[in-house]
């Protein structure tokens, strides 16, 4: 991640992500940047593997009795949550500030939200975001649903390997994904714009849809599908009237997840977007580089509320799907 150090750290606080970004966009040393990206991806996967091993080692261990340490742990957790959510609360609060200076509270106002509706650049970025997210959602939902059915309903060689590969786009750092797609589009001679942005979003959203729909398929009852076949239903009729209603909550949850990830993405979009395909996150980043204003706070608050709402709905649908599976 290079965004946070770039905005808050200054020139003297460069991290690995900033160095990789500079190698591709400023120094134009793509081989060196690619080598750093591979190292970063390897380190990320290694940390995830070590974390997984640590969790496996803890399983089966004796549970400790509740002591004062449990209370201390709860207090520590609450402090961490406050540290994470306090900046979001401050951002939302100052989006209603009547002053252009964030450090001074001058009273409550909604004018910054009203000004967003008259800002042509904001409306253009919003249109691009909604268009790209909508196309990405439709394509990934269709492709992901059929891919999940193929992965869970049929037996073939290397099935375990393919299932494991689904997690790679989720596990590797976004900057590595973005740079790899940038290199691919460059080698293919494609101009950066909305088409490359849509392809990039489909690439990293597809795994989330497959996994979400697959989780629903894991708990669905195949005997109902077999009964439909015994009653001379065609494969298409079985899918339409039996399979599709059973996995519908998982499909909707996966679609909402894909839409949320697409409309909220910055890092991958930063590398594969063209001059005519600025999205809301890219617009916010460009404005923040000039200075934080209440209008940016208002726009960020709107994006945050939309994202949180979509995630909550997606999680509720997944919980409902899990509850229905247990009842079956």
**Predicted confidence (pLDDT) per residue in 74-96, tens digit:** 787 888 888 778 878 887 887 88
CA pair distance 95, 111, nearest whole angstrom: 9
CA 212 to chain centre: 13
Are the CB atoms for 269 and 281 separated by under 8 Å?
yes
* Residue at token pair 């990206």: 37
What pLDDT does residue 195 have?
92
Phi, psi for 318 (deg, rounded to 5): -65, -40
Q: Reduced to 3 states, what is the DSSP secondary structure of residue 286?
A: helix
Phi, psi for 108 (deg, rounded to 5): -85, 140
What pLDDT does residue 65 have?
45
Across-strand partners of 108? 97
Are the CB atoms for 145 and 205 separated by under 8 Å?
no
What pLDDT does residue 62 have?
43
Q: Reduced to 3 states, what is the DSSP secondary structure of residue 80?
A: helix
Q: Reduced to 3 states, what is the DSSP secondary structure of residue 22?
A: helix
CB within 8 A of 248, min separation 6: which ones? none
What pLDDT does residue 12 have?
56
pLDDT per residue, tens digit, the chain (328 aa), is: 556 555 555 555 566 666 666 655 555 555 666 666 677 667 767 776 776 666 666 554 444 445 666 777 778 788 888 877 887 888 788 788 877 776 677 788 888 888 888 888 888 988 999 999 999 999 999 999 998 888 887 777 777 777 777 888 887 878 888 888 988 998 888 888 899 999 999 998 999 999 888 888 876 666 676 677 767 777 778 777 777 878 888 888 889 889 989 988 888 898 898 888 889 888 888 887 777 677 888 888 888 888 888 888 877 776 766 666 555 5
What pLDDT does residue 30 have?
55
**Predicted confidence (pLDDT) per residue in 5-64, tens digit:** 555 555 555 666 666 666 555 555 556 666 666 776 677 677 767 766 666 665 544 444
Q: Reduced to 3 states, what is the DSSP secondary structure of residue 247?
A: helix
Kindly tell me the burial class for residue 320, based on how many C-beta atoms sit within 10 Å of its own C-beta (0-12, 13-18, 19 or more).
Answer: middle
Cα end-to-end distance, the chain, whole Å: 43
Q: In this structure, is the dihedral angle defined by the CA atoms of residues 317, 251, 280 and 86, taken in order, positive or negative?
A: positive
Are the CB atoms for 215 and 250 separated by under 8 Å?
yes
Across-strand partners of 43? none
- Give the helix ranges, DSSP H, for 154-293: 159-165, 168-171, 174-187, 194-219, 222-230, 235-238, 244-264, 267-272, 280-290
What pLDDT does residue 32 have?
60
Domains of the chain as residue ranges with CATH: 117-328 (1.10.3720.10)
């Amino acid at each position: 991640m290079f965004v946070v150090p770039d905005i808050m750290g200054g020139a003297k606080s460069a991290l690995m992500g900033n160095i990789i970004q500079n190698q591709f966009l400023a120094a134009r040393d793509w081989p060196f940047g690619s080598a750093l990206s591979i190292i970063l991806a390897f380190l990320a996967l290694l940390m995830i593997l070590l974390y997984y091993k640590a969790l496996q080692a803890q399983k089966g261990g004796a549970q400790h009795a509740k002591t004062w340490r449990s209370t201390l742990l709860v207090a520590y957790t609450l402090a961490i949550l406050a540290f994470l959510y306090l900046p979001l609360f401050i951002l939302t609060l100052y989006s209603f500030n009547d002053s252009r200076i964030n450090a001074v509270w001058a009273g409550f106002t909604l004018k910054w939200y009203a000004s967003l509706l008259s800002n042509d650049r904001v409306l253009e970025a919003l249109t691009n975001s909604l268009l790209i997210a909508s196309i990405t959602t439709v394509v990934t939902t269709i492709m992901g649903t059929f891919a999940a059915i193929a992965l869970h309903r049929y037996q073939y060689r290397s099935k375990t390997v393919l299932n494991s590969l689904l997690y790679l786009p989720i596990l590797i750092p976004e900057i590595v994904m973005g740079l790899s797609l940038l290199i691919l589009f460059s080698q293919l001679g494609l101009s950066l714009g909305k088409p490359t942005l849509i392809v990039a979003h489909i690439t990293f959203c597809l795994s989330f849809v497959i996994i979400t729909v697959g989780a629903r398929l894991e708990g669905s009852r195949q005997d109902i599908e077999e009964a439909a076949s015994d009653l001379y239903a065609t494969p298409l009729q079985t899918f339409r009237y039996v399979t599709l209603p059973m996995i519908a909550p998982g499909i909707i949850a996966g679609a909402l997840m894909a839409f949320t990830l697409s409309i909220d993405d910055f890092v991958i979009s930063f590398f594969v977007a063209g001059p005519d395909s600025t999205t809301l996150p890219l617009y916010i980043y460009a404005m923040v580089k000039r200075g934080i204003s209440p209008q940016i706070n208002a726009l960020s608050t709107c994006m945050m509320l939309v994202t949180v709402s979509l995630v909550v709905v997606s999680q509720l649908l997944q919980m409902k799907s899990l509850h229905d599976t247990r009842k079956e």
